[in-house]
Chains A and B, each alone.
Chain A
Amino acid sequence: MESDYAIIGGGVVGLSVAWGLLRRGRSVTVIDGDDAGPRASRGNFGLVWVQSKGMKQPRYAQWSQTSAALWRGFAGELGDQTGIDLGLRQDGGYDLHFSEETLAETVAKYDVLKRELGGDYPFEVLGHNALRKEEPHIGPKVVGAILHRQDGHANPLRLLQALADGVRRAGGRVLTGRKVVAVDRGDGFAVACADGTRIRADRVVLSAGLGAAQLGPLLGFRAPVRPQRGQVLITEKLPPLINRPSLIARQVNEGGIQIGATNEEVGLDDGVTRKGLAQLAQEAVMAYPALARAQMVRSWGALRVLSPDGLPIYQESPTHPGAYLVTCHSGITLAAVHALRLPDWLERTPEAPDLEVFNETRFS
């Protein structure tokens, strides 16, 4: 087995990078796990989101903006290749507020970020009445919202499926049901799996989500990632009720209203709790009172992959040159840059984006 790249982890992050490398004519083998195990790619909320990101690190806000801007072309190309509509809508999104104080505080922070970004941060504040014109079902307790024009959402499961399909169509090899146990270095890398499979590759990308915590040290990474649980629920399919997505709720392209998400530090427990679901329901009903009559049909818990500051890590190994750690919390938002820009960084082309601030040495 010989590939230019071995990609450890076949979730949205690993497959986006794989798809981007294949598109440039590189040969790729993706190594993925089995049906169980925490898979953030199966449980995330599906926002393609800019606002609130990078409040302390404008470079992250920019990186998210770059991806949001590339998303339409990315979805189009992937959609044409696979025939799968990713359900992308980028008409803006809301940060809803139930108090004037939190709204004002957030606006003040956005103003600072906007200045740091040279003015490219298109948001506006809608009071209750203005919001109601846009969202007729908004509840009386919502005092207002920040509408950010660069926000949107997509169907994350269609994205996952399209990437899995597109990588194969582009000639990538995807090995599922594998568990990586060792990575040996000699002439390139040899990735060894528990079932005896060995994959030889010139370069290795570690994009194994929470799995990077164990595998990272094999390649000289610290990989300081931790799980954070988010519980999400979804209603039966409903007629159009929510126009633009928010961090509280979005109406998915199939019609269900998805409501999220909790932020819980509970280790690797990806279960759902009655308390968590009840809180989500309470907030959603407060935002959109008509939802009180909607039936919840499913719920799930998923584990966010978080670095200590919540930002991505892009790092070449200091001890194993040619091995890269790629991990982030926002795999959906960043899918487009991971597919279309990160290969420049991996391949060290003149167009390579400057990802210095996302180095993991920032945590030392």
Chain B
Amino acid sequence: MHEAELIILGAGPAGMAAAARAAGFGLSVLLLDEQPRPGGQIWREVGRAGPLRGDLLGRDYTDGARHVDRLDHPGISHLGGASVWQVDPAGEVAFTRNGAAQVARGRRILLANGALERPMPLPGWTLPGVMTAGAAQILLKASGIVAERAVLVGAGPLIYLVAAQMVRAGTPPLALVETQTLGDVLRAARHLPRALAGMGYLLKGLGLLRELRRAGVARFTGATSIAIEGTGRAEAVTFTTGNGPQRIACDTVLLHHGVVPNTQASRSMDLPHEWDDAQRSFRPVVDAWGRSAEPCVFIAGDGAGIAGAKAATLTGQLSALAIAHDLGALPEADRDLAARPLRAKLALETAARPFLDRAYPPCAQALAPADETIICRCEEVTAGTIRHQAALGCLGPNQTKSFCRAGMGPCQGRYCGLTVTELLSACHGRPQQATGAYRIRAPLKPVTLGELANLAES
């Protein structure tokens, strides 16, 4: 049994910043992460790839190396390759590492599980050759591989960043097919005054767009009726814009329409969650320190609501301050004093968020997929099946799960959960909050029966 005062799940921006800060107050920290090396998705492999590909990945990426370096502290034990499959609010965490199940016990738990890309169920999205833009970026970070003859489809700042990185790598995408409309941008404009405080993000976005224009990458906006065509693999993207139907032949399609909090661990503890209409997703309910309804469980970073990597380093530190105070390592006055500059920076970091959320809303077509579109990839369940179950009286996703297996596969419902909630919400005209979400149980990640059985003996 591992013991630590603080167990952190996830070595991304929030988890690393929290670990360093907590260790600075003398706490023992166990940092568990699924990847072999720290960094999370945003700074994946930054220690190795930063020096190799820093130029094309950009400063925001290479900056991650500072946070990785701070983990080199005697109070921090980082276990990479640890796949956490159960967390309980009493402070025990079960995980598998090197083929053996182990248990760790902590006085506080910080969930820093980050975000997942919002699934984008469109006709043809399950064809080989289709992946998320985030997955393509991971390939670039980890292995330097760039997708050839690719079309980026969707909405949001990440699309511009990935496209620009592809340009810098010498393999520009064929086109950007964007779903946001001019109307979205105009509606978002009322959030611009506040967003000016977060000017850096807006300037960066404009810089990326300039870079794409100079490279001659075609951009289509307000795309509707999107479909990926191909027999056996993706061969083209078809869509409609104000100028009529379009077709772009390609080898790869990269989908992205935003990220959503990864709530699997917080859901597995039955913590309360609330629907965030601006971000069209659920997020766990936490206080200003990231403390959840379970007093010993904290949540920081994008897992508590999407705000980006820099904000995650701040919310991670805020949780570390509260935990240090809880455990007697930091007087209340010192905690509050240390929190002040973090909160000020956080206000700036999140200033542009309402503008971005409204300027790049999720793709409407993917939130209400056509009947024949598969929405649960593990069990190959279509949107039409979910609508049929709604007609049979299923009000929530746990009933449809029983009826048609959507959400029962190895992904544990990560990739269909929000879509099913949205479909049922639309069918019954009930709010997403009332419609609810999948009940998540162990294992959060698959574990073998042999590993599990060994825990019974020990």
Residues of chain A whose beta carbon lies under 8 Å from any beta carbon of chain B: 10, 32, 34-36, 41-42, 157, 160-161, 164-165, 168, 174, 176-177, 235-236, 254, 259, 271-272, 274-275, 277-279, 281-282, 284-285, 291-301
Q: Interface digits, B391-413 against A, CB 8 Å rule (1 contact, 0 not)?
A: 01111111100111100111010
> Could you tell me if A296 and B453 are in contact, using CB atoms closer than 8 angstroms?
no
Contact residues, B248-279 vs A (CB, 8 A): 270
The 6 A-B pairs of least Cβ separation, nearest first, read A35-B396, A292-B450, A278-B456, A281-B452, A176-B393, A295-B446
Contact residues, B154-198 vs A (CB, 8 A): none
7 A-B contact pairs sorted by A residue (CB < 8 Å): A35-B395, A42-B402, A274-B92, A281-B449, A281-B450, A282-B456, A293-B449
> Could you tell me if A274 and B455 are in contact, using CB atoms closer than 8 angstroms?
yes
Q: How far is the CA of A301 from the CA of B442 in the complex (A)?
A: 11
Q: How far is the CB of B275 from chain A (nearest CB, A)?
A: 15
Q: How far is the CB of B135 from chain A (nearest CB, A)?
A: 22
Closest to B393 in A: A176
Q: How far is the CA of A285 from the CA of B389 in the complex (A)?
A: 36
Cβ of B346 within 8 Å of any chain A Cβ, yes or no, is no
Cβ of B326 within 8 Å of any chain A Cβ, yes or no, is no
Interfacial chain B residues near A36, Cβ < 8 Å: 396, 398, 436
Cβ of B88 within 8 Å of any chain A Cβ, yes or no, is yes
> Could you tell me if B397 and A35 are in contact, using CB atoms closer than 8 angstroms?
yes
Q: How far is the CB of A167 from chain B (nearest CB, A)?
A: 10
Closest to B449 in A: A281
Closest to A291 in B: B449
> Could you tell me if B449 and A285 are in contact, using CB atoms closer than 8 angstroms?
yes
Q: How far is the CA of A237 from the CA of B94 in the complex (A)?
A: 23
A-B CB pair tally, cutoff 8 Å: 114
Given contacts A35-B435, A298-B441, 14 further A-B contacts (CB under 8 A): A35-B395, A157-B402, A236-B410, A277-B452, A278-B455, A281-B450, A282-B453, A282-B457, A291-B449, A297-B408, A297-B410, A297-B412, A299-B441, A299-B443
Residues of chain B whose beta carbon lies under 8 Å from any beta carbon of chain A: 86, 88, 92, 94, 103, 270, 389, 392-399, 402-405, 408-410, 412, 435-436, 441-443, 446-450, 452-453, 455-457
> Could you tell me if A161 and B408 are in contact, using CB atoms closer than 8 angstroms?
no
Interfacial chain A residues near B395, Cβ < 8 Å: 34-35, 176-177
> Could you tell me if B393 and A274 are in contact, using CB atoms closer than 8 angstroms?
no
Q: How far is the CA of A298 from the CA of B441 in the complex (A)?
A: 7
Q: How far is the CA of A271 from the CA of B441 in the complex (A)?
A: 8
Out of B389, B393, B404, B442, which one reaches A272, CB within 8 Å?
A: B442
Q: How far is the CA of A209 from the CA of B17 in the complex (A)?
A: 49
Interfacial chain A residues near B399, Cβ < 8 Å: 35, 42
> Could you tell me if A292 and B448 are in contact, using CB atoms closer than 8 angstroms?
yes
Known: A294-B448, A294-B449. A300 touches B441 (CB 8 A): yes
Interfacial chain A residues near B397, Cβ < 8 Å: 35
Out of A174, A176, A292, which one reaches B453, CB within 8 Å?
A: A292
> Could you tell me if A293 and B398 are in contact, using CB atoms closer than 8 angstroms?
no
> Could you tell me if A298 and B412 are in contact, using CB atoms closer than 8 angstroms?
yes
Out of A32, A35, A279, which one reaches B456, CB within 8 Å?
A: A279
Out of A161, A291, A297, which one reaches B402, CB within 8 Å?
A: A161
Q: How far is the CB of B449 from chain A (nearest CB, A)?
A: 4
Interfacial chain A residues near B86, Cβ < 8 Å: 274
Interfacial chain A residues near B412, Cβ < 8 Å: 297-298
Known: A35-B396, A35-B397, A174-B393. A160 touches B403 (CB 8 A): yes
Q: How far is the CB of A214 from chain B (nearest CB, A)?
A: 21
> Could you tell me if B449 and A292 are in contact, using CB atoms closer than 8 angstroms?
yes
Interfacial chain B residues near A278, Cβ < 8 Å: 452-453, 455-456
Interfacial chain A residues near B443, Cβ < 8 Å: 296-299
> Could you tell me if B441 and A272 are in contact, using CB atoms closer than 8 angstroms?
yes
> Could you tell me if A164 and B396 are in contact, using CB atoms closer than 8 angstroms?
no
Out of A160, A174, A274, A295, which one reaches B94, CB within 8 Å?
A: A274
Task: Find the residue from B94, B396, B449 having the highest chain A CB count within 10 A.
Answer: B449
Q: How far is the CA of A318 from the CA of B403 in the complex (A)?
A: 37
Q: How far is the CA of A263 from the CA of B394 in the complex (A)?
A: 29
Q: How far is the CB of B58 from chain A (nearest CB, A)?
A: 38
Out of A41, A42, A274, A284, which one reaches B88, CB within 8 Å?
A: A274
Interfacial chain B residues near A275, Cβ < 8 Å: 456
> Could you tell me if A165 and B455 are in contact, using CB atoms closer than 8 angstroms?
no
Q: How far is the CA of A294 from the CA of B449 in the complex (A)?
A: 6
Out of B392, B394, B449, which one reaches A235, CB within 8 Å?
A: B449
Closest to A234 in B: B408
Q: How far is the CA of A274 from the CA of B443 in the complex (A)?
A: 10
Out of B103, B398, B405, which one reaches A42, CB within 8 Å?
A: B398
Q: How far is the CB of A72 from chain B (nearest CB, A)?
A: 23
> Could you tell me if B450 and A296 are in contact, using CB atoms closer than 8 angstroms?
no
> Could you tell me if B94 and A296 are in contact, using CB atoms closer than 8 angstroms?
no
Q: How far is the CA of A269 from the CA of B215 in the complex (A)?
A: 59
Interfacial chain A residues near B392, Cβ < 8 Å: 161, 164-165, 168
> Could you tell me if A164 and B442 are in contact, using CB atoms closer than 8 angstroms?
no
Interfacial chain A residues near B455, Cβ < 8 Å: 274, 278
Interfacial chain A residues near B446, Cβ < 8 Å: 236, 295-297
Interfacial chain B residues near A300, Cβ < 8 Å: 441
Q: How far is the CA of A174 from the CA of B449 in the complex (A)?
A: 40
Known: A274-B94, A295-B446, A296-B449. A281 touches B456 (CB 8 A): yes
Interfacial chain B residues near A41, Cβ < 8 Å: 402
Out of A157, A176, A272, A274, which one reaches B103, CB within 8 Å?
A: A274
Q: How far is the CB of A66 from chain B (nearest CB, A)?
A: 27
Q: How far is the CA of A334 from the CA of B71 in the complex (A)?
A: 59
Q: How far is the CB of A86 from chain B (nearest CB, A)?
A: 13
Q: How far is the CA of A230 from the CA of B393 in the complex (A)?
A: 27
